[in-house]
Amino acid sequence: MIMLIPLEYNGPKMQDYRCSAQCTWCDGCGDYGIWTAVKRALVELRIAPNQVCLCFDVGCHGNGSDKLTGYRFHGLHGRVIPFAAGAKLGNMKLPVIAFGGDGASFSEGIGHLVHGIRSNYPITFILHNNANYGLTLGQASALTRQEQKMNSSPNGIPEHTLNSMDMVFALEPTFVARGFSGDIPQLTKIFKAAIEHQKHGFAFVDVLQACPTYNFFATHEYLLGKCYDANADGHNPRCEPSKARALAINTSEKIATGILYQCEDAPNFYERLKPRNGKKTTLVEEVKECDVEEFMKKLV
Amino acid sequence: MSRVALKIVGAQGQGVNSIGEICAKGLKRAGYCVFGYREYMSLIKGGHSCYQLDISDCRIGSSETKVNILVALNHHGLNKNAGEVKDSGIIIHQTPQWEFPSDADADLRKRNVTVLYLPAEDILKKIKGKAILGNMLTVSAVWSLLGRDADDLKKLVREQFERKGEELVQMNFRCIDEGVTFIHDVVGAGHALPIQPIALPPANSQLKSNMLITGSQAMGLGLIRGGCRFYAGYPMTPASPLLTFIADAQNDTGMVVKQAEDEITAAQMMSGAMYMGTRAATGTSGGGFDLMTETVSLNGIVENPSVFILAQRPGPGTGLPTWTAQGDLLLAIGSAHGEFARCVISVSDAQDCFDLMPEAFNIAEEFQTPVIVMTDKHIAEGLFTQERFDQEKTKIRRGNLITDPKQLKKLKSHDRYDPATTDGISPRWLPGADAATYCAQGDEHDAEGAVNETAKNAAAQMEKRMRKMEALKKMLPEPTLWSVESARLPPACRQGRAGQGKWKVANDDSELDLLVVSWGSNKGAIRDALATFGFQLSVGYLHYTYLWPIKTDRLQSLMKKAKRTVLVECNAQGQLGMVIKMASGIDIKDRILKFDGRPFFCDELSSLLSAAPAIRHP
């Protein structure tokens, strides 16, 4: 890995994102890797803590909301995407990153994910995918393997496992990436691209994450053996969506990671709003008494 | 006060609303106060629907149960609504060879009601007009019965249809002429039941320049005026007309308007936009609000200003989707888990809809907490004759929002939720500000928003947030007492002026014969009903705009002196009464409650108030 930070440097540093609260994740938890990569990506993009809005869902990852600095928000289970979208539309000048787990994003709040991708909101969404509900002590999520015995599913789940990537691609996304919590340099690269993609729309990043306490089927070692860097292998993300989709959903032999699909041609949600065409100000800057005389005239 | 009522009935999609709207506009321009009330069913076409206009030279804000003119566009309307016509009233219909059943016929004859058959189809055939033009023919007949000048109507029609071409204008003019001729012939030819035009009182020229505006439009203008830049909603009657109005206005206002995938999304997007620092609102009805309540609670703990509009209709369940109720007061006050400060406000008419929306934002930002603004179907879809809003009255107040760069630099992360603040209100600064950052934390947290589960911190943060409720209660005004001005005139001056009293806000809390206590849309009917008592009794109407935290001092002092106090509500339990009792121990036993999906009508309320005091239980 090449050191990207030059010696003479006045921009934000990793320690600017440090804060006093101590991490409470289990030893070996994939959240450490994601947390580190997020900070690194922000620093390498020269985004200072006061220049970013970080929105957390509820789950183990959400317990990281007070483990770094930045303007943060820690909300309700399953609801982080619409909150982050509302925040971003309020102030288009600020990068907004939303974090959610697989429980929140593919069960409780699956509708928000569907419409978030469909709407192409200009935000980055980082999925902490440990394939179970960790914080509530290891229940099955929609992404847990069917035969796996879990807390409250002693016989495994009766439902089949959701093919998350197939669903995501069905929604015509503009950015899809997959990473692994054990590969921080690659995650950093992916996150940087996903944050930069905000200007083009919704960036979906699936991070396969080790859960040493409850996930005994897709462990750190298992993921380490199966994941490979598809971009290094020659995959160009600016390809036909069908090609990227096939690569993403076929995980039986190997799991492709990296930026799987990227389209920079589609307008993001905000750009599609006719009333905002040509507006230089943000909604935050526009709060003032507005003259309604013309409306009143029409009602006489 | 003299008033006339006109009711148009027919199948949904037959033109009931367009006839009502043209008549309303014409009459308002002629100098009348028009109050419009719609009844319809939860379907797109076919169901029975009504549009009633109550017309007066004085300000009125309610409907009567009986009407002077009934326009029936189909025979169902004749069967259903003929009994609602006043003695000596007129029915106009378009059903060939229609005959009332013998008992109904006898009743109409006894009451001297004229039944006029307007051969709309024949007339349209004669002038080669499309069926839709039957509406204008009907309007013209009504217009003539009210003794109005056809030229005024033509002026209005030109304005309305000019951009669609001169041919259409001329076709409408022909319909108007035909309608005028029809009535002229009937009135002039010594009809079997000789009819007189319905006498309107002399016009009041001050009303000419007023607006005709629905509660939803007024609320939309209030939002826009108050600096709202983002609105998210999910369609649900009776909150949808507001979403429609705001959406239709977006190309002029530049606002972001989002029809969300569900109410939870709408509430979350609003919350996110408010967190970022703009002004945003969401609106829904009871069922949708149920879905939003978790977000209400979240905004309570993260101390995020937020504005929720709750447009009531009768529940439980899907209930009566297109009718009205005040059954969600306890929902607004008690919704959402956990304890936190919130403000519950209710609008009552178009004026309130405009004035209270900027105020809702001001309170939300000053106290950094959720504000729930209540309305109902009767206001949202009611049509009001309204003076132009005084825009100068609107002042945006953003509370303890820090934007000055020097002050921002001094802030520490722990200033955001420092429990030491005396009124519980902390400095607030926005994401992106060049300052120390914090976490808007939905878990119980310490001063900078880090999760903290210690007993000491939990108690300190709860106390901090609850102190805001005390501060809020202190700031909110007492309920408003309205009285009839002329009731205070000496008896000699009252001669011949019965019912012409003007309503005014009273500061004099002296003894009353009758004190009515209520909230929301009942205001219009209560004031119109009380005006009829204005000379025999000293009456007062205590109107609650701010419902939570509730103030009861003024109520107590007025009640002590009043000979009779009556609670009036459109719900089955007397929910305002329950809230008053919970807050003060005062039990208003004399109650008039209505919970059949209909608003109070002024004549109905007037007779209920005249009846002996009684406790009416659900």
- Contacts A79 to B, Cβ<8 Å: 264, 268, 295
Cα B245 to Cα B238: distance, rounded to the nearest angstrom: 13
pLDDT value at position B483? 87
Which of A17, A63, A66 best probes binding to B when mutated, by most B CB atoms within 10 angstroms? A66
Instruction: Determine which of A84-88, B16-20, B157-161, B610-614 has the lowest per-residue pLDDT on average.
Output: B610-614
**Interface-testing mutation among A55, A73, A123, A297, with chain B (most B C-beta atoms within 10 A):** A73
The sign one gets for the Cα dihedral B174, B178, B180, B184 is positive
* Spatial separation of the C-alpha atoms in residues B37 and A37, rounded to whole Å: 61
Distance CA A103, CA A100 (A): 8
Chain centroid offset of residue B513 CA: 28
Instruction: Tell me if A157 is assigned to some domain.
Output: yes
Return mean pLDDT, chain B: 93
Q: Does residue A93 belong to the interface with chain B, where contact is any CB pair within 8 Å? A: yes
Residue A26 lies in a domain: yes
Q: What is the reported pLDDT for B494?
A: 40
Could you tell me if A245 and A222 are in contact, meaning their C-beta atoms sit under 8 angstroms apart? Answer: no
How do residues B364-380 score in pLDDT, each as one tens digit?
999 999 999 999 999 99
**Is A85 contained in some domain?**
yes
Chain segment B3-53, per-residue pLDDT in tens: 999 999 999 888 899 899 999 999 999 999 999 999 998 887 778 999 999
pTM of the model: 0.96
User: CA A260 from chain center: how many Å?
Assistant: 14
Q: Is the dihedral of CA B71, B73, B77, B82 positive or negative?
A: positive
Closest CA to B276 of A280, A192, A85: A85
Q: Is residue A151 part of a domain?
A: yes
pLDDT digits (tens, 9 = 90+) for A171-180: 999 999 999 9
Domain range enclosing A89:
14-298
User: What integer pLDDT is reported at residue B42 of this predicted model?
Assistant: 82
Please identify among residues 7-26 of chain A the ones whose CB lies closer than 8 Å to any CB of chain B. Answer: 19-21
Across the interface, of B264, B276, B389, the residue whose CB is closest to A90 is B276
Domain contains A5: no
Residue A7 lies in a domain: no
CB contact under 8 Å between A292 and B225, yes or no, is yes
Give B302-312 pLDDT, tens digit per residue: 999 999 999 99
Domains and CATH numbers, chain B: 3-209 (3.40.920.10), 212-393 (3.40.50.970), 405-475 (no CATH), 480-610 (3.40.50.920)
**Which residue would you say has higher pLDDT here, B161 or B356?**
B356
For residue B250, how many other CB atoms are within 10 A of its CB?
16
Q: Cis omega before residue B316 (within 30°)?
A: yes
The answer to whether the Cβ–Cβ distance between A86 and B224 falls below 8 Å is: no
Q: What is the pLDDT of residue B122?
A: 93
Residue A241 touches partner B, C-beta closer than 8 Å: no
The dihedral built from the CA positions of residue B286, B292, B294 and B300, taken in this order, carries a sign that is: negative
Q: Alpha carbon of A131 to those of A209, A213, B137: distances in Å?
A: 8, 12, 68
pLDDT at res. B498: 41
B555-572: string of b/e by CB count within 10 Å (b at 16+)?
beebbeebeebbbbbbbe
Q: Which helix (H) or strand (E) holds B77?
A: helix B75-81
Check pLDDT > 70 for residue B140: yes
Cis-peptide, bond into residue B491, ω within 30° of zero: no
> What does the alpha-carbon distance between residue B374 and residue B288 come to, in Å, rounded to a whole number?
13
Query: How would DSSP label each residue in B556-575?
Result: HHHHHH-S-EEEEESSSS-H
Predicted confidence (pLDDT) at residue B194 exceeds the cutoff of 90: no
* Structural contact between residues B589 and B559, judged by C-beta atoms closer than 8 angstroms: no
Percentage of chain A modeled with pLDDT above 70:
98
CB B551 within 8 A of CB B476: yes
How far apart CA B358 and CA B223 sit, in angstroms, is 6
Share of chain B above pLDDT 90, in %: 85
Answer yes or no: do A87 and B451 touch at CB < 8 A: no
Picking from B224, B268, B438, the nearest residue to A86 by CB comes out as B268
Is residue B499 predicted with pLDDT exceeding 70? Answer: no
Q: Is residue A209 part of a domain?
A: yes
Q: Is the peptide bond before A82 cis (omega within 30 degrees of 0)?
A: no
Contact across the interface for A273 and B396, Cβ inside 8 Å: no
Q: Give the CATH number, domain containing residue A53.
A: 3.40.50.970
Q: How many folded domains does chain A comprise?
A: 1
